[in-house]
Structure 1
Amino acid sequence: MAPGAPTLTPRSPSATPSGTPTPSSTPTPSPARTDRPGASRATNLMPVIQHGPRGPQRIALTFDADLTASMRRRLQAGTVKSYYNDQLIAELRALRVPATLFLTGLWMEQYPDRTRELAKDPLFELGTHTYDHRAFTKHCYTLGTVPRAEMLTDVRRAVVQLDRLVPNATRWFRFPGGCYDGTALHELAPAGLTAVGLDVPGADGFAKSPDPIVKQVLSNARDGSIVVLHMHGGDNAPYTDEAIGPIVRGLRARGYELVTVTELMRGR
């Protein structure tokens, strides 16, 4: 945690303009709960959801805003113009697509005004994606690894950053690369967060065109799916904005309703 940052008290999500549940309506899944679709079943662990109810024709599109130390150096050097894909957000708004956005602490530090703007849009809800996108297991793609002793501090640091910009933010969280194990879930249990998994990876990271992204999502999405894409654009995810239109139209043509993670887990 950054010097002087407040200590977090675990809490259930509070009501926000983006439709986050109140504690009285839909609490964050407890680690002891076993009746939520796709949820982890062990006690004393951070709870994990991999998907929503498989019955209703509802799908949650989610977008990660990664920003690592090396990405920030490229940004500062002018090698990359921006790690905010404003065209993607414009497409989501034009198509009226609800989405859940997972932001790293570094990304929020780089784009505080954008974070506040996204939080005010009723289409979107915001969650966290660690502080600097290091992994919580070894050998997770090419990501660095957060030492066990620093795991809770790293995650809380991002939550504090989000809370400073967005009062009453959600308690949804996503692991970088989708990589975690029992050690990580144990260390992060005190954070009071619920991890949102990767039911359908969108394969937009370093894609060479929008076509494989569209094919990947439309070929694998089904009732209750949580689709994982990226909203930072730049050199890491350059074609997500071009793929999102065909994805949305394809899913809606099949009768799917697109919702936030919170709405998906309400199971309506």
Structure 2
Amino acid sequence: MKHQYRYHPLLSALIAAGLCGMSGMALATGVTAPTTSSSISVGEVSSTTGALNTLAHLPTKKQVFNSTQSVKVINKRQMATAGPAGGAAQALAVAPGINVATDGPSGAPRSSISINGMKTGWGNIAGNANDGTVMVTFDGVPMVDPAYGVWQGSELPQMSMIRGITATYGPGYPLNRWYNNIGGSINFSPLQPTRKTGASIGMYYGSFDSKGIHFNIRTGQHDGWSGIIAGGVGSSGNYLNGYGFNNPGNNYAYYGKVRKSFRGGHISFGGYVSRSVAYRPLP
């Protein structure tokens, strides 16, 4: 059966107008609709830095970079620029912002050390004694006399047993403060016991009749126990002399440490002894 559908002209006109209206509304909606941008991944972001412990270990470059304090680490290679006869004063002289005035070229003569103007120690060239406003530690243990607040560079005449020095400009983190950290702090980090057995010995001879010998012996780890013993002796003349007398000096220092490692930590026992003697040159 055949059906035929016929549309009234008026009805056709109304339908056409409605379609145009719907099309226009859709077009308007497309223009005013808010656009959404795709997200961009920037990776993992962390804001946790934490306090840098400069007493327990020698900080790495990354740790110093992430620190909020001004910290300078003097490594073994930089210390070598002071020469094998040099002591604490000569080694610290390579750090920016640390001024050193000493009476001689070796570790035996006294010296004055300042960090950005804050001083400790005393020296004939530098002037009077300075109240301790810089804290000095050896393996995290204070070396400054709390009664006088003064440290002397000749207390550390042998740098052969030191693996690095950490200098903090200013008081630093509370974690590392003792009682004289107003101007800054200096921690001398000595050689540590190692897992493997080893030993080294060295000697030198140079200008101003400088000569000396140094060594270190490492036991390696056995049943959780490990130890190290190190030391050195040295002597030198002085670049300040007169009447045929070169104001000589001599020194020695020895250090030992035993560590017991166990699950969750370790315990250490150590000792250090030194002696420095030097003639004080005339101004």
From the CA coordinates, give the structure whose radius of gyration is larger: 2
Give the TM-score normalised by the residue count of structure 1.
Answer: 0.26
Q: TM-score, normalised by structure 2?
A: 0.25
